[in-house]
Amino acid sequence: MKQKGKHIPEDVKIIGYDDSFVSTITEPSISTIHVPKVSAGVKAANLLFSLMDRNKDDLIHEPVGFRMEGRLIVRNSTVPGMDEENWLVSEW
């Protein structure tokens, strides 16, 4: 972005997903969506086990999923001076 003369967040806003450590050490720090990975893994495993327990003829051939509540971590890549402010994201 710097090579193109663009400034973050004034010209371009950036947001990531997974709240990795790298998003905290970049300049500017990257806003991100934090989702509890362990809870997501447990829910996914339970869903898989329940599908494996079904009879082959009973399987529904439609997408199956679940919702998880995430937290928006607002950092300097979207709003200058907003580092480390947490916002709740639901129904997304």
Residue-wise pLDDT for 13-72, tens only, equals: 899 998 989 999 998 999 999 988 899 899 999 988 887 887 776 666 677 777 888 899
Residue-wise pLDDT for 12-27, tens only, equals: 889 999 898 999 999 8
Q: What does the pLDDT read at residue 59?
A: 64
**Burial (CB count <10 Å: 0-12, 13-18, 19+), residue 89:** middle
